[in-house]
Amino acid sequence: MNPKQELGRRLQAGIKESEPMSLHTSWKVGGPADYYLLPADEGELQEIVRYGNKTGLPLFVFGNGTNLLVRDGGIRGLVVHLGAPFNYIYREGSSLRAGAGTPLTMLAREAAKEGLGGLGFGAGIPGSLGGALVMNAGAFGSYIGRLVSKIRLVRFDGKAITLGREDIVFGYRKSNLAEKGIIVEALLELGKGDSEELNREVEHCLAERRRRHPALPSAGSVFRNPPERPAGSLIEEAGGKGLSVGPARVSEKHANFIINPGGASAGDIEELIERVRRLVREKFAVELQAEVRIIGEKR
């Protein structure tokens, strides 16, 4: 029995075969996932993890696909996406408990509405809470890791556990969470604030993003900022703005963004990433590290 037959019988929400990842990534590129799974709850997620263990099929967790370059050959094995059933927010005192599938912008708006401060920076970051926690997403001098008090996840042996703050390590756009399992929900400790002021902060962050970032499909900042200087300014000064491979182009608005105006392949984007890296290496002897994660197989 193949995964579609075996898991399809057990999962309410179903399973898609050969699902084009270009439908799900913010860059709008990426070949097919062999099996794209949408668990309806934590129990189904555990079933999927155990099935992966039993069959030896690799398992990849996909959030909103806003920090991923999925190659044109796609992803072998199982891709699990925590969608609508994991999109929820509950208030608990001055904390919010939210599902991993909750969009960060929705969470920022809800916190502001509730008069809870600390999440305004997240408005406009297009990821899910799960992806934001793994990447320790941040902006405007703040980041999600500092708000975390507990995280519930399904470990790779299928067991569900809750991690305390002391079990989690956050760094610059990284954490130790992906190696621990699949995040199901998090409890974020927020401060009390004035709802109107917090709403204004949310609107300000959204407006700043519109002002600074290109509107065309991208994955946000491609490279991590090296200690010397922001990656964008190194790329701009090296003459990288407007550099292109096929339709993929380094944005004129923000040099650390690569945009897909339409028709680019993941191969074009990956090659452009390499060209930009080479340009900056030759000009400044700085080796840029990718912030976006490159996954899947080449065509």
Ligand X SMILES: Cc1cc2nc3c(=O)[nH]c(=O)nc-3n(C[C@H](O)[C@H](O)[C@H](O)COP(=O)(O)OP(=O)(O)OC[C@H]3O[C@@H](n4cnc5c(N)ncnc54)[C@H](O)[C@@H]3O)c2cc1C
Q: Which residues in this chain contact ligand X in the complex, by CB under 6 A?
A: 26, 61-68, 82, 100, 125-128, 130-132, 134-135, 137-139, 173, 178, 182-183, 213, 218-220, 293
Report the distance separating Cα 30 and Cα 156, nearest Å. Answer: 25
Q: What is the closest distance, in whole angstroms, from the C-beta atom of residue 24 to ligand X in the complex?
A: 8
Between 94 and 106, whose beta carbon lies closer to ligand X?
106
Rg (CA), the chain: 20
293 by DSSP, 3-state: which? Answer: strand
Between 76 and 173, whose beta carbon lies closer to ligand X?
173
Kindly state the helix (H) or strand (E) to which residue 211 belongs, with its residue range: helix 195-212
Between 219 and 280, whose beta carbon lies closer to ligand X?
219
Q: What is the closest distance, in whole angstroms, from the C-beta atom of residue 264 to ligand X in the complex?
A: 14
Report the distance separating Cα 74 and Cα 77, nearest Å. Answer: 10
Report the distance separating Cα 225 and Cα 164, nearest Å. Answer: 29
Any catalytic annotation for residue 179? Answer: no
Q: What is the closest distance, in whole angstroms, from the C-beta atom of residue 285 to ligand X in the complex?
A: 27
Per the rule left: phi > 0, alpha: psi between -120 and 50, beta: everything else, 77 is: left
Any catalytic annotation for residue 208? Answer: no
Q: What is the closest distance, in whole angstroms, from the C-beta atom of residue 206 to ligand X in the complex?
A: 11
The residue annotated as part of the active site, out of 221, 249, 265, 277, is: 221
Any catalytic annotation for residue 142? Answer: no
Structure tokens at 238: 């090296």
Point out the residues that are catalytic.
173, 221, 291
